[in-house]
Amino acid sequence: MEFGLSEEQTLLQDSVRRFLEDNAPLDRVRAFADEADDSDIWQGLIDLGIGGLLVSEDNGGIGLGHLDAVLVAEALGYSATPAPFLSTAVLLPTALQAAGAHTDMLADLVSGSLRAGAALAESNGDRLNGGVSCAGSNLTGTTRFVLDSKADVYLVTDSDSGLHLVDQGASGLSARKLSHIDATRPLTELTLDNTPARRVSDDPAVLQRVLTVGRTMLAADTLGAAQFMLDAAVAYANDREQFNRPIGSFQAVKHMCAEMAAEIEPCRALVWYAGHALDEAPEEAELMALQSKAHTSEVGKFVAKTATEVHGGMGFTDLVGLHYWFKRIGFNRQMLGNPEFLREQAARVQGLVAA
């Protein structure tokens, strides 16, 4: 069977890329890292319909498929875009629609008048002094690596796989901004002390669906970021001269770039199929999400290191700015499960783990 993008999907990704080239170049990413607001970028994406990609038409969205969202995530990763796409346009809409709860909020997510955060890191296991417990309709505990610090409402998971909504400014809620992890995303740590919350779901299957979709989008983001770092390395190798020759003419540099390209290209089909499976092959979706995120995380790590090496000492400077993509790939690798954890989960899904 021939598997490829439709004309509409290609146009969607091209439109997002052109918008980001004009509105989120490196200087704009650097400004955001220095505390500039990102609302202009997000509003521009909202105007393109990105906020409603995964929201059904009945709830005011566009109702496109997950492969379309994967293509957008790939473009956002390529530009290291500072925007709350994952939490606002993916994770919260997925949770609300899967649970059939609080769907009145979807219209506000689509319009951009509501910005969501996601506190799901503890869903992969306990961290030191981490985790959230639920008593009645109140939450207590600490959750780290939360997307994002500018949210109006947070999607929070508890230790029993429940999902809840916590409003910014709720009583007992305090936040501590986390810096120097991924400067393109405003991360925070939330501490909840008997904080009131609205229940979304108690069904572990709903949480699993949210994690599956989120992992697929993170894999796509890493794919886009890795492709950018390869493109930047090739451009630098063709421009930088040594001994009166472009360093790209040296065999060692050629091999480094060729190896990066050879590692990235198979990831594209893997990630695209993972997005396709979310809608068209649901029995494969969880496994494909686990495998695609695990594999692209490893490839992304390799590409980030190798592309930086191609740049030599310049690769560590803010002038080139590779560190924004380097750290973004590193954060994607850990968020919602590192490769080792995901491979173990993939083995369990396939019944390959001994009891």
pLDDT per position as a tens digit, 182-230: 999 989 999 999 999 999 999 999 999 999 999 999 999 999 999 999 9
Task: Give whichever of 32-36, 201-205, 248-252 has the largest mean pLDDT.
Answer: 201-205
pLDDT of residue 1 exceeding 60, the answer is no
Rounded to an integer, the average pLDDT of 345-355 is 87
Return the residue matching tokens 């590193």: 330
Q: pLDDT band at 355, cuts 50/70/90? A: low
What is the model's pLDDT at position 313? 87
Is 120 within 8 Å of 159 (Cβ atoms)?
Answer: no
CA gap 319, 214 in Å, rounded: 32
Rounded to an integer, the average pLDDT of 333-352 is 94
Same domain, 210 and 231: yes
Name residue 13's amino acid.
Answer: Q
pLDDT digits over 88-134, tens only? 999 999 999 999 999 999 999 999 999 999 999 888 776 667 789 99
Same domain, 49 and 174: no
pLDDT of residue 3 exceeding 80, the answer is no
Helix (H, G, I), strand (E, B) or coil at 116: strand
Residue 130: domain span: 117-202
Is 109 within 8 Å of 102 (Cβ atoms)?
Answer: no
Tell whether 19 is covered by a domain.
Answer: yes
User: What is the pTM (predicted TM-score) of this model?
Assistant: 0.95
Is 93 within 8 Å of 214 (Cβ atoms)?
Answer: no
Q: How many distinct structural domains can be found in the chain?
A: 3
Tell whether 355 is covered by a domain.
Answer: no
Residue 238 maps to which CATH number? 1.20.140.10
The encoded tokens of residue 250 equal 């040296």
Q: Within a 10 A sphere around the Cβ of 78, how many other Cβ atoms?
A: 23
